[in-house]
A and B are shown apart, each in its own frame.
Chain A
């Protein structure tokens, strides 16, 4: 198992490094400047938020096609509540998170109790949310004021960024010293990564707030996935539903729960999306569910369920964002972008399958 994970993680990181090197050569270094990497990190935030939730959905053997539309809808109602109805900012944010969670729970109930396949429930949900979004916005975009945009566009003060990264690096160094065996050296690598990340981000304007949000939520979700019964049960349900059932796990409640969490993440993604773009439009979030699924899959999640990690999905989202960003830098005609992304998605899974056969 341990070998397996390392192999997958290494291939992914390797692919990312290859992509980065290729782009930095092609752009004569522009790609790797702090300014561009900061932009890249911000560009991946929304997809990453959705992908974090999506991993858990797919791990449980489910799928959610509605998250793009749901994120768009949540971003819009939140912006409208803040701008048109003068709700306080916290209430506008809470609205998106609560409504997103609620709609996720509704879909989860349909899957768990009525046994409608999740593909159908969430395909229906996607269409409904798209329609509602068009209806409530009336096709007009809403542009919230500065305060709302903070979560999408501002930066963590550089000093705070250094302190945070320093604390995390110190913790990883502590683990390196405490743990035994070859596995502990990865902690040292992560400590270095935290410092390099802070350095690069501070080399421009600081760690972007949406990126910080992604990292915090990823850490929380990863902790839940690996160290809480709820998370482990999702792996069990996706890995062998019968076994989970015979172990006394309430499968329905877990499925409802994971769709609820996905809805929460869609709400968060919606807020960040509106805040980053600066306005909520009537087609916001469209097709983002596919980016989220692609990110999860590139990051090693098995669509059969039972396998996948949050950090892998983040890596997947980073690969996707790197492709978008690099091709834009190169002024590649925009029609190439989905073509390349599609090819990479299929290639990633093919490489993974070939690697598994080899073992």
Chain B
């Protein structure tokens, strides 16, 4: 008997049918994963289920314990034991852990909040998830993994029977993600079911009992995990077989473009300590150098410090062919002038003006080039932006389309286009495929391959091991700020990289 059943759910937005007769069911004590590309309807489906979209705004039926239910709000869904843990962490950083856990349902006597009760509840909730922090501490002092557990604690204390998790591991470190998965398995044993959305297929295989794949607002199928392979899921998601996800670029041993020696970066939060210590490597023309390592190993610090964007003291030498001296870059401005380009980790925050058009965004970093006299030559701008959009195969109605309306993959291409327009010699990619669906990932890989083949020197930071291994000629492994390996070609295997990433330094 299914605990929860969705029948023929249909949801329309102006001009788009986001869900088209989707059916889905969940057994008691089951982890059921939802897979699909961005825009396939996963988030819409769980928002229908969790009362985010009130009853009446969608078609179809929701049955809980075989009884039809209609949720007018998130709160009503919670009262029925369905708790949504949204993609963005829904905690208030300035409030205490305890307050966050009881937020919206504070115990009250005579109009006043009963703080002893709030703190006692929080303690109990934190014990449920095995998190040992003082409930009176403000949430912003907690690590992201801990914050995620606070959110789950918050859901559990509402006596949730069904947890709906939307990309819960997206922001977590490897270790925290493992802990979370283990915890969900434990909850399953206690009879609490989960609906699990993730782009990371290896997680889905690890945790899910069954997998439902959505595509274009329809359910493509539901299978037991044991009967599926990741290739099969990917082909269900994209509707075609993705043969070679990682087109490793051919090797063109070119000249050295960038040589880094004794590279150390001070920890901005703990002066005297280092987030990077004594890193050194050479980067050649046409080469893809992968940077691997666990979260916090210093990968982002490496590319951002090379790019002159570090907020703390940087030591070491940095030689670029054709540049005088060996001093670190003083600012991103200088780095750009020396031929560097950085596609940062969080494209929405650092890479794009979301409300501006594709054309505006592509030409944003190179506006100077289009100035004639006092004015911008908009025709020239459009021409060059258009050429980039075409070369990068950006799918948008036109150059005037607002970037916010594009999918993650196309947004990432806009960022790439912006930097390619500055004609860099070195391209630093920090997690270039984060939050992008599988089909778009393959396209980004293809682009990186083409760019390398055209002579660009690429550094690619990635948390996804298959991606680093599949794309890179060489892999530099960081481990707590130290360089523990620089592996050539076939020497880089999952085993060697993980060994270097986890070895004690």
Q: Which residues of A contact B (CB under 8 A)?
A: 1, 223, 227-229, 232-233, 235-236, 239-240, 242-249, 306-307
Cβ A248 vs Cβ B94 within 8 A: no
Give the residue of B90, B137, B138 whose beta carbon is less than 8 angstroms from that of A246.
Answer: B90
Cβ A242 vs Cβ B112 within 8 A: no
Residue in A closest to B107 when the chains form the complex, CB atoms: A229
Instruction: Collect the chain A residues with CB atoms within 8 Å of residue B95's CB.
Output: 232, 235-236, 239
Residue in A closest to B158 when the chains form the complex, CB atoms: A248
Cβ-closest 9 pairs across A and B: A247-B104, A248-B75, A246-B90, A239-B92, A243-B90, A247-B103, A248-B104, A1-B138, A240-B92
Instruction: Collect the chain B residues with CB atoms within 8 Å of residue A247's CB.
Output: 90, 103-105, 154
Closest Cβ–Cβ distance, residue A354 to chain B (whole Å): 15
A242-B86, A244-B103, A248-B78 as given contacts; A229 in contact with B92, CB under 8 Å: no
Write 18 A-B pairs (CB below 8 A) sorted by A numbering: A1-B96, A1-B141, A227-B112, A227-B113, A228-B113, A232-B113, A235-B92, A235-B94, A239-B95, A240-B92, A243-B90, A243-B92, A246-B74, A247-B103, A248-B75, A306-B92, A306-B93, A306-B94
A1-B138, A232-B106, A242-B86 as given contacts; A248 in contact with B93, CB under 8 Å: no
Give the residue of A223, A229, A244, A306 whose beta carbon is less than 8 angstroms from that of B106.
Answer: A229
A248 to B158, CA, bound (A): 12
Closest Cβ–Cβ distance, residue A304 to chain B (whole Å): 10
Closest Cβ–Cβ distance, residue A183 to chain B (whole Å): 11
B99 within 8 A of A: yes
B145-159 interface mask toward A, CB cutoff 8 Å, 1 = contact, 0 = none? 000000000100000
Closest Cβ–Cβ distance, residue A261 to chain B (whole Å): 15
Instruction: Collect the chain A residues with CB atoms within 8 Å of residue B75's CB.
Output: 248
Instruction: Collect the chain B residues with CB atoms within 8 Å of residue A227's CB.
Output: 112-113, 115
Residue in B closest to A229 when the chains form the complex, CB atoms: B106
A232 to B113, CA, bound (A): 9
Residue in B closest to A59 when the chains form the complex, CB atoms: B94
Cβ A236 vs Cβ B103 within 8 A: yes
A228 to B115, CA, bound (A): 10
Instruction: Collect the chain B residues with CB atoms within 8 Å of residue A248's CB.
Output: 73-75, 78, 104-105
B88 within 8 A of A: yes
Residue count of chain B within 8 Å CB distance of chain A: 30
Cβ A239 vs Cβ B93 within 8 A: yes
Instruction: Collect the chain B residues with CB atoms within 8 Å of residue A246's CB.
Output: 74, 84, 86, 90
A306 to B96, CA, bound (A): 12
Instruction: Collect the chain A residues with CB atoms within 8 Å of residue B90's CB.
Output: 240, 242-243, 245-247
B63-74 interface mask toward A, CB cutoff 8 Å, 1 = contact, 0 = none? 000000000011
Closest Cβ–Cβ distance, residue A296 to chain B (whole Å): 16
Instruction: Collect the chain B residues with CB atoms within 8 Å of residue A235's CB.
Output: 92, 94-95
A1 to B94, CA, bound (A): 8
Cβ A239 vs Cβ B86 within 8 A: no
A306 to B138, CA, bound (A): 13
Closest Cβ–Cβ distance, residue A245 to chain B (whole Å): 8
Instruction: Collect the chain A residues with CB atoms within 8 Å of residue B78's CB.
Output: 248
Residue in A closest to B76 when the chains form the complex, CB atoms: A248
Instruction: Collect the chain B residues with CB atoms within 8 Å of residue A244's CB.
Output: 92, 103-104
Give the residue of B91, B96, B137 whose beta carbon is less than 8 angstroms from that of A240.
Answer: B91
Known: A228-B108, A229-B113, A239-B92. 4 other contacts (CB 8 A): A228-B112, A233-B103, A246-B84, A248-B75
Instruction: Collect the chain A residues with CB atoms within 8 Å of residue B322's CB.
Output: none
B253 within 8 A of A: no
A249 to B95, CA, bound (A): 15
A301 to B138, CA, bound (A): 17
Closest Cβ–Cβ distance, residue A54 to chain B (whole Å): 19
B86, B92, B137: most-surrounded residue (chain A CB, <10 A): B92
Instruction: Collect the chain A residues with CB atoms within 8 Å of residue B154's CB.
Output: 247
Instruction: Collect the chain A residues with CB atoms within 8 Å of residue B96's CB.
Output: 1
A182 to B91, CA, bound (A): 29
Instruction: Collect the chain A residues with CB atoms within 8 Å of residue B88's CB.
Output: 242
B373 within 8 A of A: no
A291 to B150, CA, bound (A): 40
Cβ A249 vs Cβ B103 within 8 A: yes
A249 to B103, CA, bound (A): 8
B56 within 8 A of A: no
Instruction: Collect the chain A residues with CB atoms within 8 Å of residue B84's CB.
Output: 246
Closest Cβ–Cβ distance, residue B361 to chain A (whole Å): 25
B111 within 8 A of A: yes
A248 to B104, CA, bound (A): 6
Instruction: Collect the chain A residues with CB atoms within 8 Å of residue B99's CB.
Output: 232, 236
Instruction: Collect the chain B residues with CB atoms within 8 Å of residue A239's CB.
Output: 92-95
A228-B111, A232-B113 as given contacts; A249 in contact with B92, CB under 8 Å: no
Residue in A closest to B75 when the chains form the complex, CB atoms: A248
Closest Cβ–Cβ distance, residue A331 to chain B (whole Å): 44
Give the residue of B103, B108, B113 whose beta carbon is less than 8 angstroms from that of A243.
Answer: B103
Instruction: Collect the chain A residues with CB atoms within 8 Å of residue B104's CB.
Output: 233, 236, 244, 247-249
Cβ B108 vs Cβ A229 within 8 A: yes
